[in-house]
Amino acid sequence: MKPSSREQANAAVREFLSRRDWSKQTPARQRILAAFLRLATTNGYGAVSMRTLSGELGLRPSSLYSSFPGGKDEIVAEALSWFTHRFGQDLLASLEEAENPEDYWAALVRFHLSQQLQRPEADLWDLLVATDRVGKFLSEETRVEVATWLRLHEAMFAAAAEEMGRSLPSQNIFMILTLLDGAARWASWDGSPDSLEKLLVNAVAVTRSILTTEIPAPAGIPQG
């Protein structure tokens, strides 16, 4: 039997995640990445230097360079990849109990919104990727990895839409992901589980309404 669209989308994500083996990452590198993400989400990316990072860890800057010879740029690239990998793994786990495309769609939305509200590094990931579009500070390898992940993530939404008998034009998926990525700016979450659940339920409803809305494409942008 041919795999469903959802199964194919999940398999593509698993294949993407398998390209890099994080099990061999040293504890020292993991500690540096965690400290970078913590400082950057708290104080802002621009406030983090090799000196401030070494101070946070109680290490000499030379010790950081022994783990990351490329300095801050290498740490940023590694942090982006590390977060992407963990996001992807946790996302797949959240989809395991989805028995139909409606549940799959809801799980995608609920996971994404939860991550944006509960993990500040999700906003940092978005910021770094957006900044690279202007400043081009990431390596080409990292840029390709980010682009591949975004395409695969979008394909998961498109797979659910297809199985629900809907197409998902590019402008609709852009609107949905922009809504979810910006959750920290519009969601009035008080930190309680009840408040979060209400936001998740509403987000699923809103994204489903966007899915079924015909939005005229801007001139020059094809439907897809």
Give the residue-averaged pLDDT of 17-21. 90
CA distance 34 to 206: 34
What pLDDT is attached to residue 215? 63
What pLDDT is attached to residue 217? 59
Per-domain residue ranges of the chain: 5-211
Give the residue-averaged pLDDT of 19-37. 86
What pLDDT is attached to residue 153? 96
Residue-wise pLDDT tens digits, 192-215:
999 999 999 999 999 999 988 876
Which is more confidently placed, 43 or 163? 163
* 5-211: CATH class: mainly alpha
Residue-wise pLDDT tens digits, 129-153:
888 888 888 889 999 999 999 999 9
Residue-wise pLDDT tens digits, 79-116:
889 899 999 999 999 999 999 999 999 999 999 999 99
pLDDT at 224 over 50: no
Residue-wise pLDDT tens digits, 54-80:
999 998 888 889 889 988 888 988 988
CA distance 65 to 74: 10
Give the Å distances, CA to CA, from 17 to 12, 22, 88, 147, 212: 9, 10, 7, 14, 31
pTM for this predicted structure: 0.87
| Burial of 77 from C-beta contacts in 10 A (0-12 / 13-18 / 19+) | buried
What percent of the chain shows pLDDT beyond 90? 54
Give the Å distances, CA to CA, from 47 to 30, 67, 113, 143: 20, 21, 27, 23
What pLDDT is attached to residue 172? 93
- Identity of the amino acid at 107: A
- Residue 7 pLDDT class (50, 70, 90 cuts): very high
What pLDDT is attached to residue 127? 85
Q: What does pLDDT average to over the chain? A: 89
| Burial of 160 from C-beta contacts in 10 A (0-12 / 13-18 / 19+) | buried
